[in-house]
Homo-oligomer: A and B are copies of this chain.
Amino acid sequence: MCRWAAYLGDEVYLEEIVTAPCHSLIAQSHSAQEAKTSTNGDGFGLAWYGERREPGLYRDILPAWSDPNLKSLCRQIRSGLFLAHVRAATDGATSRANCHPFVQGPWSFMHNGQIGEFDRLRRHLESGLSDAGYEALQGTTDSELFFLLMVEAGLDGDPLGATRRAVAAVKDAAAKAGIDPMIRLTAAFSDGERLHAVRYATDDQAPTLYTAPFGGGIGRCLVSEPFDRACADWQAIPPGSFITATRSSMIVQRFDAAPATPDLLPQRLRSV
């Protein structure tokens, strides 16, 4: 289980979320409160959007709490859209290629959760990738592979549908392998314009997801765990939710793993 925080809004220094708050993401790397493991010391990563279409990416395998580069970068870089992650390894060794966020073109993605019995599903899932997707794989985590499945399932034009189809692909693979499918998925991802998040699980253990306004203006955070309980109006997002945030609105749609038939999909749209 990992911890992550994402932000969309007016430009802020990354440190305002990553390092400064009393229960900042870096504090959570040392002592998370709502995760299965309190220590998230198996690397970290940042993806932030600036003037280019693709994000900057900074990942390393040290614990976030001990990296002076991370502190300096977060103090110096301002961004209106970024993802930050601290890792507690479940599948995959401690290596940079296994640190979140993962990036493909303009998309960045980070995750807290797991795919059950991934070792037995991995080869089948990888065989479903296109050659380009297969070559794009750099590490060995379930998260990176799930992200590439989403990309190939049409993330560019239909983020919700692509996420649903990636979940379906995992369930199919499990069925073929004679395994009860188990997915726990609390992920955030962005194309540099919109910020999405999903909270979903096949059981009742969907990892937590919260949101709060941030920074006084139009800013908004999506986090796996509130970083400052005292000062912000955190709202828990229920399981089975898919979020699309822009600079002017946030939409929460119902997310289930039913076969993706977009035009028939009963979507409970809600402005927050």
The residues of A with any CB-CB pair to B shorter than 8 Å are 30-31, 38-39, 41-42, 48, 50-52, 55-63, 66, 68-69, 72-73, 75-78, 89, 93-97, 119, 122-123, 127, 131, 134-135, 138, 140
Contact = CB atoms under 8 A, between A and B. Distances in A.
A66 B42 contact: yes
Given A39-B30, A39-B41, A96-B95, A61 B58 contact: no
Contacts of A131: 123
Contacts of A119: 135
A63 B29 CA distance: 13
Contacts of A30: 39
Interface of A: prevailing SS: mixed
Given A95-B96, A97-B93, A48 B60 contact: no
Contacts of A48: 76
Contact of A58 (B38, B50, B73, B95): B73
A69 B76 contact: no
A41 B63 contact: yes
A125 B7 CA distance: 42
B94 A95 contact: no
Contact of A94 (B52, B66, B73, B77): B66
